[in-house]
């Protein structure tokens, strides 16, 4: 199903200087969407288009959704994105996990990377796409259960190595 926002419906009244909606832009670029599907005529102002709100916007969106879905159904999400973006519509393809993990650009940028894990082996993970110059990021695997217990107990807990060994012998840790 094609996702679209009813908020973009019917935003074009030249007398108010409102910008054209992406859906108006699509219609004007030969997508053959009837303009009547994208506008609401306020009472007393024939031919003027105004913003559609609430239930009116939702009712207006149903027929438009069918037209857009029919057009998009025979295209990939990337083809739809490119066609709309080429006409100035701000949009993006929503990638599933498999597509994200296989995306060469995301791998190149370091958003997707491989981790070597002692029990699971090598696998791909999705990291944070935000990079801050003063907060370097070094990808690491999650620790195994108990892997850092001794370090935590001695460095933060104040236990000696002998005390940790005694706890281990008593199977406390």
Note whether residue 77 is domain-resident.
yes
* Residue 133 sits in the same domain as residue 150: no
How high does pLDDT run on average in the chain?
74
Q: Do β-strands 121-126 and 112-117 pair in parallel, antiparallel, or remain unpaired?
A: antiparallel
Residue 1 lies in a domain: no
Are 50 and 109 in the same domain?
A: no
Question: Do both 155 and 133 map to the same domain?
Answer: no
**What's the distance, Cα to Cα, between the start and end of the chain in Å?**
52
Name beta bridge partners: 40.
Answer: 50
- What average pLDDT does the segment 92-119 reach? 93
pLDDT in tens, 87-99: 787 888 899 999 9
pLDDT at 15: 43
Is the residue at 52 inside a domain? Answer: yes
What burial class does residue 156 get, using C-beta atoms within 10 Å of its C-beta: 0-12 exposed, 13-18 middle, 19+ buried?
exposed
User: Considering the domain boundaries, does residue 90 fall inside one?
Assistant: no
Block residue for tokens 């406390």:
172
- CA dihedral defined by 29, 31, 32, 34, rounded to 10 degrees? -80
Based on the domain organization, do 138 and 166 belong to the same domain?
no
Q: Is pLDDT of 13 > 70? A: no
Q: Is residue 60 part of a domain?
A: yes
CA dihedral sign of residues 152, 155, 160, 161: positive
Total of domains in the chain: 3
pLDDT at 41 over 50: no
What's the pLDDT at 56? 53
My answer on whether 137 and 157 are in the same domain is no
pTM of the complete model? 0.51
Range of the domain at 163: 143-173
Instruction: Express as a percent the part of the chain with pLDDT over 90.
Output: 39
Do 50 and 39 share a domain, yes or no? Answer: yes
Question: Is 8 a residue whose pLDDT tops 60?
Answer: no
At 153, is the pLDDT very low, low, confident or very high (cuts 50, 70, 90)? very high
* Domain shared by 136 and 126, yes or no: yes
Sorting pLDDT into bands at 50, 70 and 90, what band is 3?
Answer: very low
Alpha carbons 13 and 6: distance in angstroms, whole number: 17
């Amino acid at each position: 199903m094609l996702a679209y926002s009813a908020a973009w419906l019917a935003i074009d009244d030249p007398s108010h200087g409102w910008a054209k909606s992406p859906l108006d832009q699509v219609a004007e670029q030969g997508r053959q969407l009837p303009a009547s599907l994208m506008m609401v005529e306020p009472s007393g102002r024939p031919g003027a288009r105004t913003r559609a709100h609430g239930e009116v916007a939702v009712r207006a969106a149903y027929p438009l959704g069918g037209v857009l879905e029919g057009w998009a159904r025979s295209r990939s999400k990337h083809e739809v994105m490119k066609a709309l973006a080429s006409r100035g519509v701000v949009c993006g393809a929503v990638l599933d996990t498999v597509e994200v993990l296989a995306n060469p650009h995301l791998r190149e940028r370091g958003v997707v990377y491989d981790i070597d894990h002692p029990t699971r082996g090598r696998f791909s993970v999705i990291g944070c796409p935000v990079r801050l110059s003063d907060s370097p990021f070094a990808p690491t695997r999650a620790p195994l259960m108990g892997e850092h217990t001794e370090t935590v107990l001695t460095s933060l807990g104040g236990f000696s190595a002998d005390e940790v060994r005694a706890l281990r012998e008593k199977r406390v840790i």
